[in-house]
């Protein structure tokens, strides 16, 4: 050792409250209280778990406050002794050198939150994709893929001048990969980065990109749905599992047209109410009166629906 003055020894006594503390660490990291735990093994294990996370899990702020504090402590350790006895317990709501019964559960909860952060991102973006493209209800990945592929089928044969939309349609129609890889490919293409290295900034950009692509896809679909892809005068397209409705409502500053897509879960949920509405309509003898009833009720509902959407977006 050429410069011993740059090093020092630290005496660390594990007894009393600290013994209880290390029992909690042992339960959190090993699932049991071990009689002898190497002092360096605990901090190395904790820090290693955090440093081994995907970049998204290490950067996102969309976590609970205790988990954010714990992550900050583990990613910027100064003294292992201080970190274990003060910083980690304080991050999770305990006072220094106090009884820490229950610390193991809080550590495990936060570590689990960190380890599932990327999976949570994918789940959030799946729901954002469904919402952007008008898929009603909480659609599964399989349903979302099937619905989007149905909507995009044949569109890849049309001239699409917008490069972003053209690439999106191509990714939607990818058939050679499983559902999970399909979703990853779809999301990675939104901001030209793999989701595992996203930050919250890329997450927000991707959500905005979905909204813009949904509008562009709708414009492209209008042309095809009104020709070869329109199945009847109601602009309704149906498969065995999904239904698509093209609806228009006159707003204060012009008309608004949207494509509403329903999965099989929503179809089943509204079946009884749909039959009740049909029975009410059957009591109206005049066809013109029935038409007016449907038009007025639907128009008023859509005005309220889109009005509340616009208000919540401000």
- For 156-192, the pLDDT digits (tens) are 888 888 899 999 999 999 999 999 999 999 999 999 9
Q: What percent of the chain has pLDDT over 90?
A: 42
Which is more confidently placed, 144 or 259?
A: 144
pTM: 0.69
Token pair 């042992």 is found at 26
Average pLDDT of the segment spanning 137-163: 88
> What would the 3-class secondary structure string for 31-81 be?
CCCCCCCCCCHHHHHHHHHHHCCCHHHHHCCCCCHHHHHHHHHHHCCCCHH
Confidence of residue 310 (pLDDT cuts 50, 70, 90): low
What residue ranges in the chain does DSSP mark as E strands?
135-136, 236-238, 243-251, 254-262
pLDDT of residue 230: 41
**Residue range 197-256, pLDDT digits in tens:** 999 999 999 999 999 999 999 888 776 655 444 444 333 344 444 444 545 544 444 445
| 20/245: higher pLDDT | 20
Quickly state the pLDDT bin for 82 (edges 50, 70, 90). Answer: confident
Of the listed ranges 7-16, 202-211, 258-267, the one predicted with least confidence = 7-16
- The domain limits of the chain are 9-115, 119-235
Question: What angle, 0 to 180 degrees and rounded to 10, lies between the N-to-C axes of helices 141-152 and 200-225?
Answer: 40
CB under 8 A, 24+ apart: contacts of 97-104: 97/17, 98/17, 99/17, 99/20, 100/17, 100/20, 100/21, 100/24, 101/20, 101/24, 102/24, 103/21, 103/24, 103/25, 103/28, 104/24, 104/25, 104/26, 104/27, 104/28
Could you tell me if 263 and 135 are in contact, meaning their C-beta atoms sit under 8 angstroms apart?
yes
Cα separation, 47 vs 44, in Å, equals: 5
Beta bridge partners, 258, equal 247
Determine the Cα–Cα distance for residues 74 and 90; give it in Å rounded to an integer: 13
Q: For residue 203, what pLDDT is reported?
A: 97
Task: State pLDDT tens for residues 26-58.
Answer: 899 888 877 766 777 888 899 999 999 999 999
In this structure, are strands 243-251 and 135-136 parallel, antiparallel, or unpaired?
Answer: unpaired
């Amino acid at each position: 050792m050429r410069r011993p003055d740059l090093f020092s020894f630290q005496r660390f006594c594990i007894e009393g409250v600290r013994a209880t503390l290390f029992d909690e660490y042992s339960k959190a990291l090993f699932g049991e209280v071990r009689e002898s735990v190497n002092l360096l093994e605990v901090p190395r294990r904790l820090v290693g778990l955090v440093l081994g996370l995907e970049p998204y899990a290490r950067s996102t702020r969309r976590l609970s406050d205790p988990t954010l504090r714990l992550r900050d402590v583990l990613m910027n350790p100064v003294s292992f002794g201080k970190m274990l006895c003060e910083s980690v317990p304080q991050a999770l709501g305990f006072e220094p050198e106090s009884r820490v019964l229950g610390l193991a559960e809080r550590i495990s909860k936060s570590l689990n939150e960190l380890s599932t952060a990327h999976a949570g991102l994918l789940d959030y973006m799946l729901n954002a994709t469904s919402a952007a493209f008008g898929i009603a209800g909480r659609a599964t990945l399989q349903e979302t893929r099937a619905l989007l592929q149905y909507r995009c089928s044949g569109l890849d044969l049309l001239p699409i001048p917008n490069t972003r939309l053209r690439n999106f349609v191509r990714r939607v129609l990818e058939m050679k990969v499983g559902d999970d890889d399909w979703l990853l490919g779809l999301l990675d293409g939104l901001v030209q980065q793999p989701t595992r290295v996203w930050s919250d900034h890329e997450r927000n950009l991707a959500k905005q990109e979905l909204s813009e692509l949904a509008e562009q896809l709708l414009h492209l679909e209008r042309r095809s749905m009104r020709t070869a892809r329109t199945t009847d005068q109601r602009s309704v397209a149906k498969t065995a599992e999904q239904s698509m409705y093209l609806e228009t409502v006159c707003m204060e500053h012009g008309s608004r047209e949207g494509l509403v897509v329903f999965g099989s879960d929503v179809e089943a949920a509204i079946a009884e109410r749909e039959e009740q509405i049909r029975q009410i309509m059957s009591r109206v003898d005049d066809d013109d009166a029935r038409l007016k009833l449907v038009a007025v009720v639907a128009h008023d509902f859509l005005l309220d629906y889109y009005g509340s959407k616009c208000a919540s977006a401000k």
